[in-house]
């Protein structure tokens, strides 16, 4: 399955202080290149409020903000490692929070492909060494290559 | 005569995280030789169908009262504590 990751939507050591800044920064190129609708970032943020997507893994946190298919033209994901951890509420336990330093912002359409995306993202997050590699990426391009490689690897 | 156990997988949208969790749980239960039926919905469906199930596994909060036990599927998503959760699921279904 071809995973389409927009290279401009991969940011290494992104320095943001709020979820708003994070989502808008990652959404910019996706809106511009026609992957998502202009109001996609607003919907991602409001969905995050209602259904938080913070996930605590072993020693780090990730978040998978996303919204409903109707705001997406073409499925893709934006990825960021954060310069400083951002607080997210935990999925299913909104009274808990987690410090997030790796974000996969998903633009899911209704097809079956998005599930494979999600499964691969989850699987990737479970592999500590790979996640460390992502955190150590020196620049956007390197991060893009790593993420593309990891997400297109093998069957689940 | 044993009745097939019914499990409901719930997430906010009914298509994303609940599917990931459902696959993992179903694979596990099959490997344990447990007979079951699974369904998958978004959290909004719970009030109308929640009580038809023996167990609910959710990756979102369920702000409704249901008779079935509700287990968080979070550990299955992250892998942290997944084994314990799977065991708990198996134990509940064995009752």
Q: Which residues pair with A55 in a beta bridge?
A: A62
Q: Which residue of B has its CA nearest to A115?
A: B16
A66 membership: H or E segment, kind and range: none
pLDDT more than 90, % of chain A: 61
Q: A114 in a domain, yes or no?
A: yes
pTM beyond 0.95: the answer is no
A93 and B74 within 8 Å at the Cβ level: the answer is yes
- Chain A to chain B, count of Cβ pairs less than 8 Å apart? 55
Residue A77 confidence (pLDDT): 86
Q: A43 in a domain, yes or no?
A: yes
Residue A134 confidence (pLDDT): 96
Distance to chain B for A93, nearest Cα, Å: 6
Report, as an integer, the average pLDDT of A4-32.
Answer: 92
End-to-end, the C-alpha distance of chain B in Å comes to: 14
Could you give the number of structural domains in chain A? 1
Residue A28 in this model has a pLDDT that exceeds 90: yes
Q: Is B15 or A109 the better-scoring residue by pLDDT? A: A109
Residue A1 in this model has a pLDDT that exceeds 50: no
A55 and B77 within 8 Å at the Cβ level: the answer is yes
Nearest to A118 among B16, B74, B79 (CB): B16
Instruction: Give the tokens for residue A58.
Output: 């072993």
Chain A partners of B73 at a C-beta cutoff of 8 Å? 92
The tens digit of pLDDT for each residue in A45-101 reads 999 999 899 999 988 999 999 888 889 998 888 999 999 999 999 998 879 999 999
B74 and A55 within 8 Å at the Cβ level: the answer is yes
| CATH assignment of the domain containing A133 | 3.40.930.10
Q: A156 in a domain, yes or no?
A: no
Confidence band of A109 (pLDDT split at 50, 70, 90): confident
Instruction: Output the average pLDDT for chain A.
Output: 89
The tens digit of pLDDT for each residue in B34-67 reads 999 999 888 889 999 999 999 999 988 899 999 9
Nearest to A92 among B13, B20, B74 (CB): B74
Tell me the three-class secondary structure of B36-78, residue by residue: EEEEEEEHHHHHHHHHHCCEEEECCCCCCCCCCCEEECHHHHH
Q: What share of chain B is helix, strand, coil (3-state, %, to 5)?
A: 45, 20, 35
A91 and B15 within 8 Å at the Cβ level: the answer is no
Confidence band of A155 (pLDDT split at 50, 70, 90): very low
User: What is the residue range of A8's domain?
Assistant: 4-150
Q: A83 in a domain, yes or no?
A: yes
Residue A9, chain B, CB below 8 Å: the answer is no
Q: A155 in a domain, yes or no?
A: no
Residue A89, chain B, CB below 8 Å: the answer is no
């Amino acid at each position: 399955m071809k995973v389409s990751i927009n290279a401009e939507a991969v940011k290494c050591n992104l320095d943001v202080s709020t979820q708003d800044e994070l989502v808008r920064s990652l959404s910019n190129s996706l809106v511009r290149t026609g992957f998502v609708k202009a109001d996609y970032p607003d919907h991602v943020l409001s969905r995050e409020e209602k259904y938080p997507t913070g996930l605590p893994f072993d020693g780090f946190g990730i978040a998978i903000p996303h919204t409903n298919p109707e705001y997406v033209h073409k499925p893709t994901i934006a990825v960021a490692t954060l310069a400083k951890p951002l607080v997210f509420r935990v999925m299913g336990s909104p009274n808990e929070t987690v410090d997030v330093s790796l974000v996969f912002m998903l633009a899911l359409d209704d097809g079956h492909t998005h599930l494979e995306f999600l499964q691969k993202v989850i699987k990737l997050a479970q592999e500590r060494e790979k996640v460390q590699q992502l955190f150590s990426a020196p620049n956007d391009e390197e991060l893009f290559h790593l993420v593309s490689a990891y997400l297109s690897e093998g069957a689940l | 005569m044993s009745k097939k156990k019914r499990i409901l997988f719930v997430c906010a949208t009914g298509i994303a995280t609940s599917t990931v969790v459902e696959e993992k749980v179903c694979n596990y239960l099959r490997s344990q030789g447990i007979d079951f039926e699974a369904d998958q919905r978004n959290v909004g469906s719970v009030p109308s169908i929640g009580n038809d199930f023996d167990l609910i596994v959710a990756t979102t909060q369920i702000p409704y009262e249901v008779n079935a036990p509700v287990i968080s599927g979070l550990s299955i998503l992250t892998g942290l504590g997944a084994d314990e959760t799977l065991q708990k699921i198996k134990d509940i279904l064995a009752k």
